[in-house]
Structure 1
Amino acid sequence: MELYNLKKNEQRVSFAQAVKLGLGDEQGLFFPSYIPQLGNVDELLEQDFVTRSVNILTALLGDELGNDTVETMVRNAFNFPLAVQPVRDGVYALELTHGPTLAFKDFGARFLAQCLNHLCKDEKATILTATSGDTGAAVAHAFYGLDNVNVAVLYPKGKISVLQEKLFCTLGGNISTYSVNGRFDDCQQLVKDAFDDLELKQAISLNSANSINIARLLAQICYFFEAVAKIPAAERKEVVVSVPSGNFGDLTAGMLAKAMGLPIKRFIAATNLNDTVPRYLATGEWSPEPTVATRSNAMDVSAPNNWPRIEELLKVKFWDKSLITGVKVDEAQTEAGLKDLYAIDYLCEPHGAIASYALNNSLQAGETGVFLCTAHPSKFQESVEEVLDIHITLPKALADVADKEILSKDIEIDFSELRGHLMAI
Structure 2
Amino acid sequence: MQLNNLKDPQQVVDFATAVKTGLGKQQGLFFPAKIPTLTGINHLLSMNTQSRNFHLLRPFVHENIDDEALHRIIGQTFTFPARMQTVNAQVSCLELFHGPTLAFKDFGARFMAQCLQHFAGNEKITILTATSGDTGAAVAHAFHGLDNIEVVILFPHGKISELQQKMFTTLSGNIRTLAVDGAFDDCQKLVKQCFDDPDLVQAVGLNSANSINVSRLFAQICYYFDALAQLPVHRREQTVVAVPSGNFGNLCAGIIAKTMGLPIKRFIASTNLNDTVPRYLQDGVWAPNATVETLSNAMDVSKPNNWPRIEYLIESGQFDRRLLSGLAVDENTTADTLQDLYRQGYLSEPHAAVAYQGLVDSLTDDELGIFLGTAHPAKFKSTVEAILGIELPLPEAIAECAKLPDLSTRLAPDFKALRRYLKS
Give the distance between the partners of 1:345 and 1:213, measured in 2 at CA.
37
What displacement does 1:135 show?
0.2
Which residue identity lines up with residue 353 of structure 2 in the other structure? A
- Tell me how far 1:164 sits from its aligned partner: 0.3
Match of 2:246 in 1: 246
CA contact (8 A) 1:58 1:71 kept: no
Match of 1:296?
A: 296
Deviations 1:161-211 (A, max 9, x none): 000000100101110000000000000000000000111000000000000
Cα distance in 2 between the residues matched to 1:376 and 1:276: 26
Q: What runs of 5+ residues in structure 2 fail to find an aligned partner?
A: none
Aligned to 1:68: 68
Q: Deviations over 1:349-374 (max 9, x none)?
A: 10011101110111112111110000
Q: Which amino acid aligns with 1:57?
A: L
Give the aligned CA root-mean-square deviation in angstroms: 0.9
Q: Which residue of 2 aligns with 1:2?
A: 2
For residue 70 of structure 1, report the CA deviation from its aligned partner. 1.3
Give the structure 1 partner of residue 151 of structure 2: 151
Deviation of the 1:318 alpha carbon: 4.6
- Superposition deviation, residue 34 in structure 1: 2.8
**Residues 111-150 of structure 1 correspond to what in structure 2 (within 5 A)?**
111-150=111-150
Quick check: 1:30 aligned with 2:55? no
Kept in 1: contact 2:217–2:253 (CA 8 A):
yes
Q: Given residue 282 of structure 2, which amino acid in structure 1 is its aligned partner? A: A
| Aligned residue identity for 2:168 | F
Give the deviation of 1:149 after TM superposition.
0.3
1:376 corresponds to 2:366:
no
Question: Is the 8 Å Cα contact of residues 82 and 227 (structure 2) preserved in structure 1?
Answer: no
- Corresponding residue of 1:228: 228
2:391 corresponds in structure 1 to 391
Q: CA deviation at 1:63?
A: 3.5
AA at the equivalent of 2:84? V
CA distance in 1, matches of 2:92, 2:53: 21
- Which runs of 5 or more residues in structure 1 are unaligned? none
1:94 maps to what in 2? 94
Q: Check conservation: 1:140, 1:168, Cα contact below 8 A.
A: yes
- Contact 2:349 2:380 (8 Å CA) reproduced: yes
Q: 1:376 to 1:201 in 2, by over 3 A?
A: same
1:362 is matched with 362
Q: Deviations over 1:216-268 (max 9, x none)?
A: 00000000001111111121121110000000000000000011000011100
Shift of 1:33: 2.4
Which residue of the partner structure matches residue 401 of structure 1? 401
CA contact (8 A) 2:276 2:286 kept: yes
Paired residue for 1:332? 332
CA distance in 1, matches of 2:269, 2:141: 28
Aligned to 2:267: 267
Q: CA deviation at 1:60?
A: 2.2
One-letter code of the match for 1:394?
Answer: L
What SS is found at the alignment partner of 1:237?
A: helix
Residue aligning to 1:170: 170
Identity of aligned residues (%): 56
CA drift at 1:61? 1.6
2:353 alignment partner in structure 1: 353
Partners of 1:83 and 1:96 within 8 A in 2: yes
Q: Distance in 1 between matches of 2:252 and 2:221?
A: 9
* Partner in structure 1 of residue 219 of structure 2: 219
Return the alpha-carbon distance in structure 1 between the equivalents of residues 284 and 181 of structure 2: 32
| Separation of aligned partners in 1, 2:147 and 2:107 | 21
Q: Helix, strand or coil for the counterpart of 1:166?
A: helix
> Is the Cα–Cα contact under 8 Å of residues 259 and 318 in structure 2 kept in the other structure?
no
Specify the SS of the correspondent of 1:279: helix
Letter in 1 for 2:33: S
Q: Distance in 2 between matches of 1:383 and 1:232?
A: 35
AA aligned to 2:7 is: K
Q: What do residues 22-59 of structure 1 show as CA deviations (whole Å, max 9, x unaligned)?
A: 00000000111232111111001111222211111113
Equivalent residues, number: 424
1:412 deviates by 0.7
Equivalent in the alignment of 1:58: 58
TM-score by length of 1: 0.98
Deviation at 1:64, TM superposition (A): 3.2
Higher mean Cα deviation, 316-325 or 174-183? 316-325
Say if 1:22 and 1:213, in contact at 8 Å, map to a contact too.
yes
SS at structure 2 position matched to 1:45: helix
